[in-house]
Amino acid sequence: MLTDKQWTIAVLGGTGKEGKGLASRWAKAGLSVVIGSRNADRAKETATEINAAKPPLSVTGDNNLKATQTAEIVVLSVPYSAHRETLDTIKSAMQGKILVDVTVPLVPPKVTKVQMPPAGSAALEAREILGDAAEIASAFQNISYEHLQGNGEIGCDVLVTGTSKETRAVALELVAKAGLNGWDAGPLENSMVAEGLTSVLIHINKVYGSTHAGIRITGVANKNKPSQEISN
């Protein structure tokens, strides 16, 4: 569906570690990608870097608002401290679009401790800020950028939550296009679990001297044939 519709995906914070990894994977999968940044020149530099792949790619770059205006799907991958400010910048251009929030509400220096914002999670805060203007999904919080920027197998699943099952279906397609295994994890209220798991994984990495702790959903025999219709 994503390729058929020729949708454009804006990756805000795509100049950074996680966003660059996602943008690069989607561009390699044939999707139309624009990098968003607070600084258009920085976005263009990152696009040029990604485009140097073999075979060459055609990612573009612009400031966050213009990148949002050109896209149907907007992926938000910025530090939590920049989350509200970035959403305020793009709010006027989000009508009828889908936001995929990657943000984890980490509060340094205690990043191994779950510290959800008053809204309940970063994704729920995004819904408060954007109101009904956009559909919102939440995904990728448990995937390290080192995995995304590498070519090896990624031993971690992606939990996808969202404001409707249609929105989650679009985000699950993005997960698959990035070469990852995604799960419909329910309504956006459940995003606090995926966001919180990141602190748990960082803690496990510290305790056990690892860098790539991840999660796998087990016990589901027939993933491609969900047996129960859900309403939202």
Ligand X SMILES: NC(=O)c1ccc[n+]([C@@H]2O[C@H](COP(=O)([O-])OP(=O)(O)OC[C@H]3O[C@@H](n4cnc5c(N)ncnc54)[C@H](OP(=O)(O)O)[C@@H]3O)[C@@H](O)[C@H]2O)c1
Nearest residue (CB) to ligand X, 91 versus 165 = 91
Give the shortest CB-46-to-ligand X separation in angstroms.
Answer: 8
Give the shortest CB-170-to-ligand X separation in angstroms.
Answer: 19
Nearest residue (CB) to ligand X, 37 versus 167 = 37
Unique residue bearing structure tokens 């219709």: 229
Nearest residue (CB) to ligand X, 38 versus 165 = 38
Distance CA 123, CA 136 (A): 7
| Number of residues assigned to the chain | 232
Nearest residue (CB) to ligand X, 96 versus 179 = 179
Other CB atoms within a 10 A radius of the CB of residue 70 amount to 15
Give the shortest CB-91-to-ligand X separation in angstroms.
Answer: 16
Give the shortest CB-65-to-ligand X separation in angstroms.
Answer: 12
Unique residue bearing structure tokens 């409707």: 164
Nearest residue (CB) to ligand X, 164 versus 205 = 205
**Residues in Cβ contact with 100 at an 8 Å cutoff, skipping those fewer than 6 apart:** 73, 74, 75, 76, 136, 137, 138, 139, 140, 171, 174
The two three-digit tokens of residue 126, written as one number: 């995004």
Nearest residue (CB) to ligand X, 29 versus 82 = 82
Give the shortest CB-178-to-ligand X separation in angstroms.
Answer: 12
Distance CA 173, CA 205 (A): 29
Question: In which order are the strands placed within the sheet that holds 73-76?
Answer: 60-63, 32-37, 8-12, 73-76, 98-101, 135-138, 158-162, 182-187
Give the shortest CB-224-to-ligand X separation in angstroms.
Answer: 26
Residue nearest to ligand X (CB): 16
Binding region for ligand X (CB under 6 A): 13, 15-19, 37-39, 42, 77-82, 86, 102-104, 106, 141, 143-145
